[in-house]
Amino acid sequence: MQCIIKCRATTPEQKALRLTQIMDVTAARFATLSYEEVNLKHIAADVGITKAALYRYFRNKETLFLALYTQEFKHLAETAKTQMEQVQLTDSICNTLIKHPLFCKLSAIMHTALQCNLTLDEAREFKTTLLLFTQEYAAMLSTHYALSIEQATALLFQVQQVIIGCWHMSHSVGAVAEVIKEGPLQLFELNFSDILHNHITRLVGSYQA
C-alpha cells in the first residue's frame, strides 16, 4: 500500500485507492480547519502526490469539496436508515445530523463557496445527484413517518436551511469566539446540537400538527 501512495496510480484499483486517500485527507483537514484554510498543495503533500497530480482527479477546490459533500450525504443517508428504525422523527433527524458534523459543516458553506466556479455540466451533475439523494431520503421519511413525499421533501429543504443558520450561529470565529466567553456576552455562545434540536422540534411539529 505504501508503494501505491508513492508511485503514480495507473490501474483502476490504484486510482480508486488514490481517490479514497484524497477524500480522507481532505475530510481530516476540513474537520479542524476552515474552507479557506484548506490548501490543495497540503492535501497533495499529505497524500504523497504533486498538486498537478491532484488536478487529474479534481479540476479545482470546489469540485473536490462537492465530491466530499456527496460522499458525506451518502453516509448520512445510511445512518438515517438506522435511526428511523429506532426513534421518532425529530430525534431521527437530529441524531443523524449530529453523527455527521462534516456534512453539517459542508452544508453551511455549500451555497457561498462550494457551488462557485463550476461549469454548467459540473453544476448539473452535482444538483442531479443531490436531487436523487434528497428523493431517496424523502421516500424513507415518508415510509417510516406519517408524511407524504411532498411533505418529506419540503421538510428536508427546510432542515437544510436550519443546518446553515445553526452552524454559523454556533461557530463564531476569531475575536468574536473569544469575547463571547466573557460575562453577559456568553448569551451569544450557542451549542450547535441544542439549537439544532430546538429548531427541528418546532419544524417537525408544524408538519405533524
- pLDDT tens digit string along 42-87? 999 999 999 999 999 999 999 999 999 999 999 999 999 988 888 8
Instruction: Mark whether 93 and 162 lie in a shared domain.
Output: yes
The answer to whether 21 and 28 are in contact (CB under 8 A) is no
Pair (112, 200) in one structural domain: yes
In a shared domain, residues 180 and 118: yes
173 with 157, same domain: the answer is: yes
Q: Band of the pLDDT at 2, cuts 50, 70, 90?
A: very low
CATH number of the domain enclosing 146: 1.10.357.10
pLDDT bracket for residue 3 (50, 70, 90): very low
Question: Which CATH number do you get for residue 21?
Answer: 1.10.10
Q: Are residues 75 and 104 in the same domain?
A: yes
Residue 169 pLDDT > 70, yes or no?
Answer: yes
Predicted local confidence at residue 146, as pLDDT: 87
Whether 201 and 184 map to the same domain: the answer is yes
pLDDT exceeds 60 at position 5: no
Query: Of the candidates 189, 187, 197, 193, which has an alpha carbon nearest to the alpha carbon of residue 169?
Result: 189
- In this structure, are residues 107 and 163 in contact, taking their beta carbons and an 8 Å threshold? yes
pLDDT tens-digit profile of 87-135? 899 999 999 999 999 999 999 999 999 999 999 999 999 999 999 999 9
Percentage of the chain modeled with pLDDT above 90: 88
Does 193 lie in the same domain as 121?
yes
- Quick one: pLDDT at residue 11? 82
Q: In this structure, are residues 92 and 83 in contact, taking their beta carbons and an 8 Å threshold?
A: yes
- Cβ(65)–Cβ(114) under 8 Å? yes
Question: From CA 188, how far away is CA 121, in angstroms rounded?
Answer: 41
Q: What is the average pLDDT value for the chain, to the nearest integer?
A: 93
pLDDT of residue 7: 59
Residues 198 and 144 in one domain: yes
How many folded domains does the chain comprise? 2
Q: What is the pTM of this model?
A: 0.90
Residues 1 and 98 reside in one and the same domain: no
Between CA 180 and CA 193 the distance in angstroms is 18
| Domain extent for 42 | 1-57
